[in-house]
Amino acid sequence: MLNINIHEAKAKLSEYLAAVEAGETVQICRRNVPVAQIVPLQQARKTPRPIGLACDRDFEIPASFFEPLPDELMQAFNGELPDPLLDNIDSAAELQAAEPGTNYKNARNKK
């Protein structure tokens, strides 16, 4: 890491930027007290990012992964088919979300 004062940074900025491009970190000081750092930016990836977390475990993604989903499954995702979990419920009261009891507000205010 290079430590430089502000006056030196102004006078030789292009030299210090070249050092930063080479991977060096430059710390700018005011009266020898650090106030800023110039650090190299992370380079953009040149190869495509691997898909998934198991890319380093020799796991191959099958070609079928990229094929479209079956129509029936897409209809279920889009809500176009009835929900099989809700078909067995008879009354609308069972579909309502549970509401806190009347004592809930009173118990909360007592604290």
Q: Where are the domains of the chain?
A: 2-38
> Is CATH 3.30.200 what the domain over 2-38 is classified as, yes or no?
no
Q: How far is CA 44 from the centre of its chain?
A: 17
Each residue's pLDDT tens digit, 83-107: 777 777 666 666 666 666 666 555 5
Closest CA to 36 of 14, 6, 10, 15: 6
Question: Token pair of 14, please?
Answer: 């292009």
Each residue's pLDDT tens digit, 57-77: 777 778 898 999 999 999 988
**pTM for this predicted structure:** 0.42
